Chain A
């Protein structure tokens, strides 16, 4: 199961990375003679309202989607892990304070924060990456903190302290290696979350500014023509669905 999912995800990712070798058509080239044509052998996914080839737009759009979701997952993991470890390891008033702040952010709807932050940071990839990671690290921090509290009470840590290890040594050589599996799972689970959030943001008209495309933006562009040219919504949606589903299943099976 794990290997099937990994192979499938690698195929999608490689197809997006090597998009220029798979399709010769440009994702930006407009062709007024072929507006909204249905899927054919020349245009496997059909064309959009400006006559652009949808297959190549989906592949190139996948690059944006993967870049935004992977980097924001990394950042949110980094912030979350750092704060989770500090809070769980240090304990006391510091921990209580951090937990209060986390509870506050957590009880606030994340999409609301993401929307306000995206508007603040700008509708560009860096702005969306930052607003996604600044909102989602809270979940990571909570889980990591719980695990750190469990780990720091183990006998191996006690043994480390008895041997005279410094706090940093305990964090980096005793606790962090034990968090490895948890962090990998959290990372794999964060990516689909980011893909979905980015597509929702695009759908609301608050995603990346045109002409850049992501899967979410493609769905948004095709939305108004759902009944006339369903292929515009169907193909990018299938890519979102299959990628997110396989990432979730991979996270569960790790």
Chain B
């Protein structure tokens, strides 16, 4: 466990170093947009943010302030610090992300079980999965918006104010992970059904419901747990798209605009945040996997 946390910290440091140098290597700087700026003023702004210092000095300064928990000032949103951006936008993204997480787990597991065990459902559900993953999420969003918002007006098309605003973004975000988890669960359930314990318990007189609910579900759970890491990764990048579509002021939107604007500190801060979320999630799922599956303990 401690070893995992240590490895996670090392990964975080590698990501930090790589993004730091890649970002400064990218052509274009954060103040290129303001063409009207005279060179002296630009010079002064750069000095103010310490962008004129040699790279290694900037790097050491950044790490020092990071250790104090300060991600530095945003270069584009002038009055904001990266910490403020995160504390404002993270709750918004997190609410949508967590709702989508549970929705896709629930739908994925139930549809997957249907595909893997149901006789008549198997083919249609599997075709349904193929259709879901063949369209980018913004394509699904455009369909949902067109029918539920423009034609019928059931759900509002943008922003995030009342409960009904959550439906379309959360559904859009859940579509693709639902299909991926469903396919995984379906494949595993089909494999498990072939195994001896299935026939064995049936011969002992256990009811079908009990065999499915107690034994099959438990064995299907471990691939689901190991898919939680990739699921979180998808939810983070999916938020870039969903937040653009529905004009939601969350982290994904900030990330994309700051990459385009070369806002070094915001990109760095958000990349580090995303990366630490993923590391924590991966460590936690591995730990859970060991609890439910004794084979994983060594």
Q: Which residues of A contact B (CB under 8 A)?
A: 104, 107-112, 115-116, 119-120, 122, 192, 196, 199-200, 203-206, 216, 219, 223, 226-227, 230, 233, 237, 240-241, 244-245, 248-249, 252
Contact = CB atoms under 8 A, between A and B. Distances in A.
Nearest to B131: A245
Given A108-B278, A116-B22, A205 B256 contact: yes
Interface in B189-239: 229, 233-234, 236-237
A109 B274 CA distance: 9
Nearest to B157: A227
A249 B278 CA distance: 31
B240 interface: yes
A248 B233 CA distance: 22
A244 B135 contact: yes
Contacts of B84: none
A252 B133 CA distance: 13
Nearest to A112: B237
A168 to B, nearest CB: 33
A241 B275 contact: no
Interface in B17-72: 19, 22-23, 25-27
**Contact-residue bracket for chain B:** 35 or more
19 contacts: A109-B233, A112-B236, A112-B274, A116-B259, A116-B267, A116-B271, A119-B259, A120-B25, A196-B136, A203-B136, A204-B240, A206-B260, A223-B142, A226-B146, A230-B146, A237-B139, A240-B136, A244-B135, A248-B133
A120 B279 CA distance: 25
Contacts of B23: 116
A202 B150 CA distance: 24
A111 B278 CA distance: 14
B282 interface: yes
Interface string B248-268: 000000001001100000010
A19 to B, nearest CB: 23
Contact of A245 (B22, B27, B130, B259): B130
Nearest to B138: A203
Given A203-B138, A205-B256, A116 B278 contact: no
